[in-house]
Structure 1
Amino acid sequence: MISLHSLAHLRDLPATTWDALVADAQPFLRHAFLTAMEDSGSVAPDTGWAAEHLVLERDGEVRALLPAYRKWHSFGEYVFDHGWADACERAGIAYYPKLLGAVPFSPVSGPRLLAADPAEGALLLQAIPEYLDKGGLSGAHINFTDPALDEAMAGLPGWMERLGCQFHWRNPGYRDFQDFLDRLSSRKRKQMRKEREQVAGQGIDFAWYRGDQLSEAQWDFVYRCYANTYAIRRRAPYLTRAFFSLVAERMPEAIRVVIARQHGREVAMAFSLVGGDSLYGRYWGCLDEFDRLHFETCFYQGMDFAIDEGLQRFDAGAQGEHKLIRGFEPVITRSWHYLCHPGLRRAVEEFLAQERVGVRAYAEEARGMLPYRRD
Structure 2
Amino acid sequence: MSDAQVEISVISSLSQVDAVDWDACACPEDAEGRPIDPFTTHRFLLALERSGSVGRGTGWQPQYLLARLDGEMIGAAPLYAKNHSQGEYIFDHNWADAFERAGGNYYPKLQLAVPHTPATGRRLLVKPEHESIAQSALVQGAVQLAAQNHVSSLHITFCTEDEAKAGAQMGLMPRVSQQFHWVSDGYASFDDFLGSLSARKRKNIRRERAQALDFGGTIHALTGDQIQPEHWDAFWQFYQDTGARKWGTPYLTRAFFDEAQETLKDDMLLLLAERDGHYIAGALNFIGRDTLYGRYWGCLEDHPCLHFELCYYQAIDWAITNGLTRVEAGAQGAHKLARGYLPVATHSLHWIADDGFSDAVQQFLNAERAAIDEDIEIMTEYGPFKKTGTEVDP
TM-score bracket for this pair, using the shorter chain length: over 0.9
Alignment of 1:133 with 2:144, yes or no, is no
Structure 2 Cα separation of the partners of residues 69 and 233 of structure 1: 23
Aligned length: 374
Structure 2 unaligned segments of length 5 or more: list them.
29-34, 389-394
Picking from 340, 350, 353, the partner of 2:363 is 350
Structure 2 Cα separation of the partners of residues 348 and 185 of structure 1: 41
Q: What are the equivalent positions in structure 2 for 1:153-172 lying under 5 Å apart?
A: 153-157=167-171, 159-172=172-185
Q: Which residue does 1:335 correspond to in 2?
A: 348
Structure 1 segments, 4+ long, off by >3 Å, are none
Alignment of 1:304 with 2:308, yes or no, is no
Q: Which residue does 2:252 correspond to in 1?
A: 239
Structure 1 Cα separation of the partners of residues 324 and 247 of structure 2: 36
Of the structure 1 ranges 69-78 and 41-50, higher mean CA displacement relative to structure 2 is found in 41-50
Alignment of 1:2 with 2:6, yes or no, is yes
TM-score relative to the length of structure 2 = 0.92
SS state at 1:192 partner? helix
Structure 2 Cα separation of the partners of residues 224 and 64 of structure 1: 38
Structure 1 Cα separation of the partners of residues 196 and 295 of structure 2: 27
TM-score relative to the length of structure 1 = 0.97
Aligned-residue offset at 1:346? 0.8
Letter in 1 for 2:233: D
| Conserved? CA contact 1:248–1:255, under 8 Å | no
Q: Which residue does 2:138 correspond to in 1?
A: 124
Q: What are the equivalent positions in structure 2 for 1:73-88 lying under 5 Å apart?
A: 73-88=84-99
Letter in 2 for 1:15: A
Alignment of 1:150 with 2:164, yes or no, is yes
| Conserved? CA contact 2:136–2:170, under 8 Å | no
Aligned-residue offset at 1:183? 1.2
Structure 1 Cα separation of the partners of residues 276 and 342 of structure 2: 35
Structure 1 Cα separation of the partners of residues 211 and 22 of structure 2: 46
Alpha-carbon deviations, 1:222-258, whole Å to 9, x = none? 1111111122347110000110110221122111101
Aligned-residue offset at 1:108? 0.5
Q: What are the equivalent positions in structure 2 for 1:281-300 lying under 5 Å apart?
A: 281-300=294-313
What RMSD, in angstroms, separates the aligned Cα atoms of the two structures?
A: 1.3
Aligned-residue offset at 1:210? 1.0
Q: Which residue does 2:241 correspond to in 1?
A: 228
Letter in 2 for 1:285: G
SS state at 1:20 partner? helix
Alpha-carbon deviations, 1:55-85, whole Å to 9, x = none? 1222333221111100000000000001111
Q: Which residue does 2:70 correspond to in 1?
A: 59
Alpha-carbon deviations, 1:72-131, whole Å to 9, x = none? 000000000011111111111111111100000001011000112122221221233322
Q: Which residue does 2:392 correspond to in 1?
A: none
| Conserved? CA contact 1:55–1:65, under 8 Å | yes
Q: Which residue does 1:255 correspond to in 2?
A: 268
Aligned-residue offset at 1:263? 3.7
Structure 2 Cα separation of the partners of residues 127 and 262 of structure 1: 53
Structure 2 Cα separation of the partners of residues 56 and 369 of structure 1: 46
Structure 1 unaligned segments of length 5 or more: list them.
none
| Conserved? CA contact 2:88–2:115, under 8 Å | yes
Aligned-residue offset at 1:321? 0.5
Of the structure 1 ranges 65-74 and 118-127, higher mean CA displacement relative to structure 2 is found in 118-127
Of the structure 1 ranges 60-69 and 136-145, higher mean CA displacement relative to structure 2 is found in 60-69
Structure 2 Cα separation of the partners of residues 110 and 170 of structure 1: 16
Picking from 185, 194, 202, the partner of 2:215 is 202
SS state at 2:293 partner? strand
Structure 2 Cα separation of the partners of residues 29 and 301 of structure 1: 25
